[in-house]
Structure 1
Amino acid sequence: MSEAGMLLQAATLRRLRHLLAAIGPGLVVMLADTETGSVIAAAQSGAHWGYRMLPLLLLLIPLLYMAQELTIRLALGTGKSYGELVRQRWGRRAELASAALLLTSCLGALATQLSGLAGVGQLFGIPVWHTIGLLCALIFIMVCTGSYRSVERIAIGLGVFELAFLAEAWLARPDPGQMLAQLTQLPLGNHDFLLLAAANIGTCIMPWTLCYQQSAMLDKGLTLADLKPARLDTLIGAILCQVITAGILIAAAAAFGNGAGGESLDTIPQIAGGFTLLLGPTGGKLLFALALSGGALVATIVVCLSSAWTLGELAGKRESLEKHPLEAPWFYGSFAAMLMVTGALVSSGVNLVKLSIATSVANALLLPVMLAGLYWLASRELPPPLKPGRGYRLLLAALFVLVAGFSLYSGLVGSLG
C-alpha cells in the first residue's frame, strides 16, 4: 500500500473511532424512550383504534429529533446542564420549579418501568416484590461498579432486545387494505382517541429524556468536536424509537384491533396475551418479555440518573458516574432512594396501565412548558455559531406550538371527556 493510501486509511480509522466514541447518549435516551409507557400507549392505541394512530407516531420523528438536538447544542455550546442554565437565566426559584417538574415526571416514569418489569415477572410466576427487589439491587450495583461509558454500553446492550417488537410486527402480517382504510378515518372528535393521542405524545418527548441527554453528554466529556456524530447518534435513535413504537402498535392492532374502538387492555399479561396469539404461547411470551424488559431497564437507568444529576445540581454539586460512591454520596444516595421509594410503591399493587396512561398524559400537559424553556435557552444562551438561525427558529417555534397545543388540547379534552 502506498504512503498516501496508508495515511488515508489512518485518517478513516481516526474518524471512525471519533464517531464511535461520541455515539451513545442519543441512542441510549431514545432506547429509553421506547419504555413501558410507550409500549402500553402504543398497544392500547392498536388494540382500541387499530392503525389510526400510526401517522401520529411517525410524524413525531422530526419533532423528537429537533427537540433532542437542541439539548446537544446546549450541552456542547455552554458546558452546562438544563437545570444549571435555568438557574443562570431565571434564578433559583425557576430552577426549583423546573427540578420539581422533572422529578415528578421521573417518579411517574420509574414507577411505570418497575411495574412493567414486575408484570414481566408475573408472566413467569415470579412474585412482584421478588422481581422488584432483585432488579433494584442489580441496577444499583451496576451503577456503583461502573463508569458512565460502561453503564452506557450495558444500556445499549439491553435496548437491543427492543428490536423483538419489530419482529413481532413483521410476523403479525398486517392487512394493508385495512391499514390504508383506517388511516383515512381519524376520530379526532372522540375523547378516548384524543386521550391516547396525548399519551403517545407524552411518551415520545418527556422532561427526563431532554434533561438526561444534556447531562449525559457532559458526564461523558464530549466537546464541540463531537457535534456532528452526536447529531447522527440522535437522528438514528429518534427514527429507531418511533419505528419500534409503530411496530408495537401494528402488532397490537393485528392481534386485538378490529378498528371499532372496543378493545382495552388492563394488565401486562393481557397485553402479552396478544403476542402469544400471534407467535404461540412460548415464543410470543418470551419475545414480549425480552422486548419490554429491554426498554424498561434502559429507561430505569436513565430516569434514575436524571434524578440523581438534578438533585446533585440543586445541592450545588455536579456529580458523575466516574466518581466512587464514597466520593459522591449525594449522587448515589439519590439514585438508591429513587429505586427504593418507587419499588415500594410498585410492590403495593398500583394499577400499571392506569398509572402509565396518567403519567403519559401528565407529560403531554407539561410538554408546552419544557419546549418553551428549551427554545428560549437555545435562542438566548448559545454562542452565535451554535445558535439556531432565524429561519430554523421560526420552524421550531411553529412545530413546538403546534405539537404542544395539540398535546395540551388532547390531554385536557381526553381527560375531561
Structure 2
Amino acid sequence: ILISCMGKYKYVERTLIAIGLLELAFIPAALFAKPDYGALMQSFVGSQPLNDNSYWLLIAANVGAVIMPWMIFYQQGAVVDKRLSEEVIKYSRIDTFIGSIVTQLVMVGALVVTAATIARTNPNTSLENVNQIANALTPFLGSMGGKMIFALGMTGAALQSAIVIALAVSWASGEVLNVRCSLNSSWKEAPVFYAFYNGAIIVSGLLVLAGIPLISLTIGVEIMNSLLLPLVLGFLLALGWKVLPERYKLQKWEKIILLFIYVLVCSLGIFTVIQLFR
C-alpha cells in the first residue's frame, strides 16, 4: 500500500525491479539442492503420467501461471503510465522477451529445488502453505542459508505478485469505468484507481490471514486463468489481425504460431473442464 504513495510510475517500476531481483534466489537454491542432472533431463523426455487426471490439471495450472490473462491489462496500463512513444515499441518487445526468459528460469529453479529434495525423498509430505514448504526444504538446503535463500525468493515473488495483480485490477477497472487511473496521479485525482488497488491488497491479505490452504487456492486460480485464456487470446488475435495499423498487424508466420498456441490453449481448457466434471 505504501508503494502506491510514491506518486510516480517510475518509482514504482524501480521498486518492482528491485523486489523482482529477490526471485533470482531460486536459481542458486536449485544448485544448493544438488539435483540429479541425469534424472532432470530424463524427466523432460521420459514417460509422463498421462492417465492421471491430476497431472493434466497441473499442466493447465502451469499454462495459467505462465500466460496469465491479467498480464495483458497490466502491460497495457504500464505502457500508458510510462508514457512510452511509438519509437520505443521495439525496445519494449525486447524487454518483454528477456523478462519472459528470466521468469521461466526462476520457475525452473523453484521446480528443481522441490523435485530434487522433497519429491525425491518424501513425496507424500503435506505442502499446503509456504511454512510447510520451507520446513520440508530445510534439511536439504541448510537450517540458515537454505531458509534464507528460499525466504528471499518467496518474499520477492509474493510482493511483486501482489503489487502487479493489484495494479492490473486497478488499471482495468479504471478504464472500464472511464475514470482516471494512473500512478502519476495523486489519491485525490484518482480515488477510484487507488481504491481498487488498496482494496485488492487488503482482500488478499485477509485471505492469507484467514488460514485457507493457499497452495490449493493458487492451483485453482491458475486453472481458472487457463480457462479464461482463450477469450483474452481471441481478442488479441482479432486486434492484431484486423484492428492495428498495417505496419503493426501480424505477419503470416506470426499468425501461424499464434493460431497454433490458441488452438493448443483452447484444447487444454476444454480438456480441463471435462476432467473437473468427471
TM range (shorter): over 0.9
Contact 1:194 1:413 in 2 (8 A): no
**SS in structure 2 of the partner of residue 364 of structure 1:** helix
- The corresponding residue for 1:205 is 67
Moved more, 255-264 or 224-233: 255-264
| Distance in 2 between residues matched to 1:301 and 1:182, nearest whole Å | 34
- The corresponding residue for 1:149 is 10
Tell me the matched-pair count.
277
The offset of 1:144, in angstroms, is: 1.7
The offset of 1:383, in angstroms, is: 0.1
TM-score, normalization by structure 2: 0.93
The one-letter code matched in structure 2 to 1:395 is I
| Distance in 1 between residues matched to 2:86 and 2:108, nearest whole Å | 33
| Distance in 2 between residues matched to 1:173 and 1:367, nearest whole Å | 36
| Distance in 1 between residues matched to 2:158 and 2:142, nearest whole Å | 23
Contact 2:23 2:153 in 1 (8 A): yes
- The corresponding residue for 2:43 is 182
Contact 1:168 1:275 in 2 (8 A): no
Q: Is structure 2 residue 224 aligned with structure 1 residue 366?
A: no
Contact 2:241 2:250 in 1 (8 A): yes
- The corresponding residue for 1:247 is 109
With over 3 angstroms needed to count, the CA separation of the structure-2 counterparts of 1:284 and 1:415, relative to structure 1, is farther
Q: Mapping of 1:253-268 within 5 angstroms? A: 253-258=115-120, 262=124, 265-268=127-130
Q: Alpha-carbon deviations, 1:281-335, whole Å to 9, x = none?
A: 1112111111011011111111111111122112212421111111111111221
| Distance in 2 between residues matched to 1:401 and 1:318, nearest whole Å | 36
The offset of 1:169, in angstroms, is: 0.7
With over 3 angstroms needed to count, the CA separation of the structure-2 counterparts of 1:172 and 1:414, relative to structure 1, is farther
- The corresponding residue for 1:162 is 23
Q: Bigger relative contact order, structure 1 or 2, given CA contacts below 8 A and separation 6+? A: 1
Moved more, 319-328 or 272-281: 272-281
Contact 2:169 2:196 in 1 (8 A): yes
Runs of 5+ consecutive residues of structure 2 not aligned to the other structure: none
Contact 2:169 2:197 in 1 (8 A): yes
**SS in structure 1 of the partner of residue 186 of structure 2:** coil
- The corresponding residue for 1:214 is 76
- The corresponding residue for 1:75 is none
- The corresponding residue for 2:196 is 334
Q: Identity over aligned residues, as a percent?
A: 37
The offset of 1:414, in angstroms, is: 4.5
With over 3 angstroms needed to count, the CA separation of the structure-2 counterparts of 1:258 and 1:416, relative to structure 1, is farther
Computed over aligned residues only, the root mean square deviation of the Cα atoms, in angstroms, reads 1.9
Contact 1:162 1:292 in 2 (8 A): yes
With over 3 angstroms needed to count, the CA separation of the structure-2 counterparts of 1:413 and 1:247, relative to structure 1, is farther
The offset of 1:340, in angstroms, is: 2.4
TM-score, normalization by structure 1: 0.63
The offset of 1:212, in angstroms, is: 0.3
> Which of these residues, 274, 287, 312, is aligned with residue 149 of structure 2?
287
With over 3 angstroms needed to count, the CA separation of the structure-2 counterparts of 1:180 and 1:312, relative to structure 1, is closer
**SS in structure 2 of the partner of residue 187 of structure 1:** coil
> Which of these residues, 383, 395, 415, is aligned with residue 245 of structure 2?
383
